[in-house]
Amino acid sequence: MDRKEGKKFLKKINFKNKISAAKEKFLEKLNVPDELAHNLTKITMIENKEILIEGYNNIVDYYDNYIKIQSKNIYIVLDGSNLNINEINDSELLISGNISNIGYLNR
Amino acid sequence: MELEEGIKRINGTIEVQIEGFFTERFINLCKINNIKIWNIKNILNGMVRFNIAIKDFKSLKKIAKKTKCKVKIISKKGMYFKWFKLRKRKLALILLLGFLVISVLSTKFVWKIDIVGNTYIATEDIYNALEEAGLYVGRNKFNLKTKKIINSLRVTISDIAWVGIDIDGTHAVVNIVEKTKLPEESIRNTAIGDIVSNKSGIIQKIVAENGTPILSVGDYVEEGRILIEGKVYSEFLETKDVPAQGEVYLKTNYEFKKDYEYNIQEKEYTDKVKYSIGVGINDKENYINYLDKSLKYDIIKSSSDINLFGNNISFSFYTFKIYNLKDRVCSKDEIISTANVEAEEYFNSEILPSLKEAKVINKELFIDSEDDKKVTIRIVFDVVEKVGYFKERN
């Protein structure tokens, strides 16, 4: 890579960074929730009985006592007993049962 | 969307069991292909049960092939499967169809007629006239020409000024506007006539507002005689015809007469009471009868009525009180006191309501005849009342 090309490349990266910074500022000004702005996963729990996961990708493992769910950035791992999937939807997942442990793994 | 899902679930749902190595993939594929599944349970490793709507079941086949899972139906629920079971019962289907046809056909008839707006024309007369004209309970609505009915109704009952017939489903409402009659007072003010007695008795008071009183206080009047004549006599002018007006009070009397026996039978109630239920249709009563015919009963009935297509149907609850008859000899004083009470009751309920401004001034008791067995008692009420009605002179 000669010097000229290197400069061009740096310019490109700078430009991209600027755009993403502007985008973030704009979303912040509009008060858009984080999970919608960055396509993150939202987890809502009711004690240890029910868990609602919004914005998941797919189910990796499904057993009676263990569920592994893939989302955009992480894996969500649930341990417990009598784990049933009550509702499954394009973006939402409702799991009920006795949840004893909830963990996260990096992808 | 949610409503659609609900309808799908009512139509029919199946509980499905899948077996295989890639059950998670199966669920993910269902999600990707927009197949709605719910109540997912993991029973064993590699064995999952879930519910699915009947419409989506066929599309599972592709996914099962892809993931190499075995699909098994565990249970079926919903309307679809119930209908499917019924398809062999032809009689039930025919009966259902018949019921539907009958219920649709029955809406094509008039089942109830209401008459609104009549004050002095009797409702029954209007019903009869309507029946003659061709509108009655049970007539089909097909070819029902209300204009024709209205015309014939107005011909048969001349007091009707306007008729409107609204047919709302199976319910016909006949609106009637009557011709207004001249009130009696305005007839009196214009027509020439006399005031005539409608009862016989002795005059107590006579006041003529217009016209000449023919009789005076203390005279005896018979029924149909003129009390106040509609003429004004004058020494200097010609006699003039006027509408008679005035008030006349007569002293009249009313009698109560009854035979009383010395030997009477009295009811003596026992403690025993029996109960029964029954149904009555148009005054014909039927109740469950298990009574002993040798005993005597007082029947007390409490019922509630339902009116169905003009028939009166009543559901009743009967109580039977058992009593014995016992002989007793009455004294004369006792008979007189009971006669007094009965006479008072008779007078207050039967006679008094038909009198105008009546006042009882005297009450006397007579014993007409008497022997060992019975007494005939007569009670006379002397009454002062307002009499007289206006009669137009020809």
Contacts of B34 in chain A (CB under 8 A): 90
Based on the fold, state whether residues B7 and B78 are members of the same structural domain: yes
Check if A98 contacts B (Cβ < 8 Å). Answer: no
Based on the fold, state whether residues A88 and A48 are members of the same structural domain: yes
Of A58, A84, A90, the CB nearest to B40: A84
Based on the fold, state whether residues B79 and B15 are members of the same structural domain: yes
Q: Is residue B96 part of a domain?
A: no
Given an 8 Å threshold on Cβ–Cβ distance, is A88 in contact with B48? no
Highest mean pLDDT among B33-37, B206-210, B227-231, B256-260: B33-37
Based on the fold, state whether residues A70 and A28 are members of the same structural domain: no
Quick check: B20 and B72 in contact, CB under 8 A? no
Q: Is residue B127 part of a domain?
A: yes
Based on the fold, state whether residues A40 and A81 are members of the same structural domain: yes
Domain end among B51, B68, B83:
B83
pLDDT exceeds 90 at position B71 = yes
Based on the fold, state whether residues B8 and B67 are members of the same structural domain: yes
Based on the fold, state whether residues A45 and A84 are members of the same structural domain: yes
Taking CA atoms, what residue in B is nearest to A89?
B31
Percent of chain B surpassing pLDDT 70: 98
Taking CA atoms, what residue in B is nearest to A87?
B38
- Round to whole Å and give the CA distance between A38 and A27: 10
Based on the fold, state whether residues A58 and A14 are members of the same structural domain: no
Based on the fold, state whether residues A98 and A59 are members of the same structural domain: yes
Contacts of A76 in chain B (CB under 8 A): none
For residue B257, the surrounding DSSP H or E stretch is: strand B245-261
Range of the domain at B146: 107-178
What CATH number has the domain bearing residue B120? Answer: 3.10.20.310
- Round to whole Å and give the CA distance between B136 and B115: 12
Pairing status of strand A42-46 against strand A50-54: antiparallel
Based on the fold, state whether residues A24 and A60 are members of the same structural domain: no
pLDDT of residue A79: 94
| Span A8-29, pLDDT tens digits | 999 999 999 999 999 888 888 8
Q: Is residue B124 part of a domain?
A: yes
Question: In which band, very low, low, confident or very high, does the pLDDT at A1 lie, cut at 50, 70 and 90?
Answer: low
- Measured between alpha carbons, how far is residue B377 from residues B173, B330, B360 in Å? 55, 15, 20
- Round to whole Å and give the CA distance between A45 and A63: 20
Based on the fold, state whether residues A54 and A85 are members of the same structural domain: yes
Q: Span B95-120, mean pLDDT?
A: 91
Domain end among B327, B342, B373:
B327
Given an 8 Å threshold on Cβ–Cβ distance, is B42 in contact with A62? yes
Q: Is residue B94 part of a domain?
A: no
- Give the count of domains, chain B: 5
| Span B281-318, pLDDT tens digits | 877 777 777 777 777 788 888 888 877 777 788 888 88
Q: Which residue has the tokens 């007469």?
A: B257
- Round to whole Å and give the CA distance between A58 and A49: 21
Q: Is residue B357 part of a domain?
A: yes
Q: Is residue B343 part of a domain?
A: yes
- Collapsing DSSP to helix, strand or coil, B245 comes out as strand
Given an 8 Å threshold on Cβ–Cβ distance, is A59 in contact with B27? yes
pLDDT of residue B1: 59
Based on the fold, state whether residues A22 and A60 are members of the same structural domain: no
Contacts of A63 in chain B (CB under 8 A): 42, 45
pLDDT of residue A68: 93
Based on the fold, state whether residues A23 and A46 are members of the same structural domain: no
Given an 8 Å threshold on Cβ–Cβ distance, is A63 in contact with B45? yes
Cβ atoms within 10 Å, residue A1 = 7
Question: In which band, very low, low, confident or very high, does the pLDDT at B183 lie, cut at 50, 70 and 90?
Answer: confident
Range of the domain at A23: 3-32
Q: Is residue B97 part of a domain?
A: no
Based on the fold, state whether residues A94 and A48 are members of the same structural domain: yes
Q: Span A73-89, mean pLDDT?
A: 91
pTM of the model: 0.44
Of A58, A84, A89, the CB nearest to B39: A84
**B354 conformational bin, left if phi > 0, alpha if psi -120 to 50, beta if neither:** alpha
- Give the count of domains, chain A: 2
Based on the fold, state whether residues A26 and A77 are members of the same structural domain: no
Contacts of A62 in chain B (CB under 8 A): 23-24, 27, 40, 42, 48
Given an 8 Å threshold on Cβ–Cβ distance, is B27 in contact with A85? yes
Domain end among B178, B204, B227:
B178
Check if B24 contacts A (Cβ < 8 Å). Answer: yes
The identity of residue B81, as a single letter, is: F
Q: Give alpha helix (H) positions in chain B.
A: 2-11, 23-32, 60-67, 79-86, 90-105, 123-133, 146-156, 184-190, 332-346
Cβ atoms within 10 Å, residue B78 = 17
Given an 8 Å threshold on Cβ–Cβ distance, is B31 in contact with A90? yes
Q: Is residue B251 part of a domain?
A: no
Based on the fold, state whether residues B112 and B139 are members of the same structural domain: yes
What CATH number has the domain bearing residue A77? Answer: 2.60.40.2000
